Amino acid sequence: MRRSYRGKDIFPYNIVLLISGMVLLLLAAAILMLVPHARFLALLFCCLGVVLLICFFLGSLPTFTASGAIVKWIRMVILLVLAVWFISFIVVETLIIIDAITTKNSEGSDYLVVLGAGLYGSTPSPSLKSRLDETLVYASENPDTIIIVTGGQGKGENITESRAMFTYLVEHGIDRDRIIQEDKATSTLENIRFSLNIIDRHWDKADDPKIAVLSNEYHLFRTKLIAAGEGQSVTLVAAETPMISLKFAYYAREYFALLKYLMFG
């Protein structure tokens, strides 16, 4: 049975907004308490929940006065923006997922660029560890490939990401002479740009080198775009992202990272 709020019929349209907003806020709180490394996903759910609750309260206000008409238009604009955002999110995530599931690891590259990720002090994060473990597999199957580990020192990190990566690979049997460290990059763009500069200085043959870039599967679509923007064709090597919660968080974050790159470079 339908109910009314201040004389208005608010079911199911506004009730759906109210329930959805509250569920998203509760979900964000649960993620923060149970999965602290997925803070970005919690923030995304929190923002969406707040927007939906704002739409609920705007929709519950009277609309038969001049100010009410303004409220109605504000509500319509917010919902339109949300609809456009949601469509763009689905399209971009589809492109990211397609690259993630269709990438077949390359073989026989002259260089393998391994993109850095966060450290817990000096210890590789789960995402970075998965990249390094995939590097070990690639290195054993391609013994002539030179490995470039790239990443500077970020907030909360005791050493550079490249140093932590170098140490991990050497401890797991990779010859240190096969590894080149790039320790200045602070973004994916710089990871790729600075690594390509190293290859330009290092490569001494007439033909162009074959370059592969390794990262987690959610990261490959943006990696490919950035490399193309730097004028370099690369093949991609995918590392499986551990933990379902990390997958959801990083796939969602990748949407915003890709928009940032497309808008600002």
Question: Domain ends where: 50, 72, 101?
Answer: 101
> Strand pairing partners for 215?
238
The pTM score is: 0.78
CA distance 168 to 161: 11
Q: Are both 172 and 86 inside the same structural domain?
A: no
Q: Are both 20 and 50 inside the same structural domain?
A: yes
φ, ψ of residue 114 to 5 degrees: the values are: -105, 115
Question: Domain ends where: 64, 84, 101?
Answer: 101
Q: Are both 146 and 248 inside the same structural domain?
A: yes
Which among 241, 245, 42 has a CA at the least distance from the CA of 130?
241
What's the mean pLDDT in 48-75?
A: 69
Ramachandran category for residue 121: left, alpha or beta (phi over 0 → left; psi -120 to 50 → alpha): left
Question: Domain ends where: 101, 129, 160?
Answer: 101
DSSP string, 234-247: -EEEEEPPPSHHHH
For the chain, how many structural domains are there in total? 2
Q: Look up the domain containing 72 and give its range.
A: 4-101
Q: What is the mean pLDDT of the chain?
A: 85
Do you find a cis peptide bond into 12, omega within 30 degrees of 0?
yes
Whether pLDDT at 153 is above 80: yes
Report the CATH number that the domain containing residue 172 is assigned in CATH.
Answer: 3.40.50.620
Which among 216, 19, 250 has a CA at the least distance from the CA of 100?
216
Which among 93, 41, 44, 120 has a CA at the least distance from the CA of 217?
93
What's the mean pLDDT in 58-63?
A: 63
What's the mean pLDDT in 163-178?
A: 96
pLDDT for 33 equals: 77
Top-confidence residue, 67 or 115: 115
pLDDT for 3 equals: 47
Q: Are both 89 and 182 inside the same structural domain?
A: no
Q: Are both 255 and 132 inside the same structural domain?
A: yes
Q: What is the pLDDT of residues 185-199, one digit of tens each?
A: 999 999 999 999 999
pLDDT for 205 equals: 85
Q: Which residue do the tokens 């020192």 mark? A: 153
Q: What is the pLDDT of residues 215-249, one digit of tens each?
A: 999 999 999 999 999 999 899 999 998 887 778 88
pLDDT for 67 equals: 57
Q: Are both 125 and 239 inside the same structural domain?
A: yes
What's the mean pLDDT in 12-30?
A: 80
Q: Are both 249 and 219 inside the same structural domain?
A: yes
pLDDT for 199 equals: 96
